Structure 1
Amino acid sequence: MGREHTARELLERAVATARSEGVLEVAYRSVPYLRRRRDRLWKRLLARVGGIPAARMYLQSRRRVQSERITDADPFARLWVNPARIDSQIRTPSKRWGRVADGDWDLAVVPFDETVAFRSVEAHFQDGVPWAETTEFEQYRDRLAAGERPKGCATEAELEARFEELDTIYDRIATDGYRSQPELWADQPEYQRTVFYKWDRTIDPRLDEVTISIGRNGQLVHSDRGDHRLAIAKLLGCQEIPVLVRRRHAAWQSIRDEITATPRRSALSEQARKYLDHPDIRNDAVDDESETARYPT
């Protein structure tokens, strides 16, 4: 687990850097640090005043004037899905919530089990390869050498600590099952102080779930966040995990719109009926007067 540096430690590092590399280098390195401090303070403020409700209201208001670009679905509602259904990863992740987009972005995918993250997690937990010898760690080591701060880490020791946190996550899921971020927060008040909070880029750290996009035919595609946790869930054979949807294809949103706007199942098109048991549809599915539909997990 990472930790905050004390003011004295930061000052000592700044003085050492100034002596060895100059004052300009200190200023250069200070910019990303100050940005991270700003982001963390902003997130804490949003978490206290209700960042999620505020963002939800903002998206609802945008949908009224841009219905073709914003989904009708609650952007922060979790879907519980079998991780085996998420078998690919999008090449162009979406950083915004509740978006609807046309085009071929959902076709630019790679098999999830061929990603560097999955192969590194698999090598570590199934083959016993030390984190420092995995492909992903080596890539991050190269970025460190180039002066970058991958995963918010400034040293290889910090990077190792970040990867070792995955061991804790693996053990927790293997023992207690896969739990949502709000559940972890409720049971572990200090959870927010882990590295997954410190470097989180969401408006509220409780939104730090595995995120997906939904393609034109309803395919679930990993997008942006939680690739290591998704890989762990797959390796452990979890039956369900919570995910958040960042983006939906316009064609898929049209199917959602038809289902939510149709009062009777018998009035749905044949195409729409095929998706009544889809994770993104179940909560909005319609019933006939004589029958209450059951939608399997």
Structure 2
Amino acid sequence: MMAIHDIKQIMIALRALHRDRENRAVFGTVAPRTAELIWVDPKKINFYMGQLPEGLNIRRTSGRIVDFERRGLSFSPLEDVIPVKSSLMHWRDGLPWEETPDFINRMMRVKFFRAGISHNTKSAITRRYRKLDELYRRIEKERAFKTQKQLKPWNFREYGGVQIGIDAAGRFAVMRGSGLHRITIAKLLDLPYIPAMVGLVDVNAISYLEPLRAPPEHRAEFASGTSDMLREYRSSERLAVDASAMSLRSPLPGSAR
């Protein structure tokens, strides 16, 4: 008998087949694929994309090519997002989860909007943060995140992974509701790469994809045959990355860590 997760993956694959065919017809073999696995340096992921194109939800954005400027899409600083702020307060500065804005906000929603939803209970929220701490300790020990395929062999490509949008300047953004805690862990632990799922791609950003497709173990040989445009960010982008990395790892004055 076919399992429920198998049926779900088949439906995802069928939708992906249509979108991939359209992308390939217009943009050729370099076009992104739905739920495609990419490898990104966490230090270069410094933005958040909370706004999505009208009519799309986060489950249908992977591999879509859009004109960001025409659609009015933009990025905001990653550190301004409450789950990221709260994660830094907890893992970097030693503040208990219960004192972070994210935890407090979730508990307020339990109080006012629970209405019997199982994942919106105090125990469920407490369990969620306990699992985040377990994940942090595991990644700290293993020094790497697994791909979705490694976690679930039946999974369709990298579906369910951290979804990363790419704008025309080659900047990376975590897309709404997609892996904010995982990205923060990767940054704090200074991991060299994190597996991710390609999200929205600006029509002028397709060329940035090719080097991201190479697994970490093949990066050196790939870089030797890749153009400077694809290998490096602009000088201003590198400065922004360095500044962001320093702020992430710098504890607050008087913090426990």
TM-score by length of 1: 0.60
Q: Which residue of 1 aligns with 2:47?
A: 88
Q: Which residue of 2 aligns with 1:234?
A: 187
Report if the CA contact (8 A) 1:43-1:204 is conserved: no
Distance of aligned partners of 1:110 and 1:294 in 2 relative to their CA distance in 1, 3 Å threshold = closer
Larger radius of gyration: 1
1:54 Cα shift? 2.4
Q: In structure 2, which of residues 182, 191, 197 is the aligned counterpart of residue 244 of structure 1?
A: 197
1:148 Cα shift? 4.2
Asked whether 1:46 is paired with 2:14, we answer no
* Distance of 2:162 and 2:79 partners within structure 1: 16
Gaps of 5+ in 1: 1-40, 187-191, 193-202, 257-277, 286-291
Q: Secondary structure at the match of 2:205?
A: helix
* Distance of 1:81 and 1:283 partners within structure 2: 6
Distance of aligned partners of 1:52 and 1:211 in 2 relative to their CA distance in 1, 3 Å threshold = same
Q: Secondary structure at the match of 1:239?
A: coil
Distance of aligned partners of 1:88 and 1:60 in 2 relative to their CA distance in 1, 3 Å threshold = closer
AA aligned opposite 2:63: G
Q: In structure 1, which of residues 84, 94, 115 is the aligned counterpart of residue 81 of structure 2?
A: 115
Report if the CA contact (8 A) 1:46-1:204 is conserved: no
* Distance of 1:115 and 1:46 partners within structure 2: 31
Asked whether 1:209 is paired with 2:161, we answer yes
Higher RCO (CA-CA < 8 Å; seq separation 6+): 2
Asked whether 1:102 is paired with 2:67, we answer yes
Consecutive aligned runs of 4 or more in structure 1 exceeding 6 Å deviation: none
Give CA deviations for 1:222-278 in whole Å, capped at 9, x if unaligned.
Answer: 11300000011111111100111111112224xx3xxxxxxxxxxxxxxxxxxxxx4
Distance of aligned partners of 1:205 and 1:132 in 2 relative to their CA distance in 1, 3 Å threshold = farther
* Distance of 2:92 and 2:68 partners within structure 1: 38
Gaps of 5+ in 2: 215-223, 233-257
Over aligned residues, Cα RMSD in angstroms?
3.3
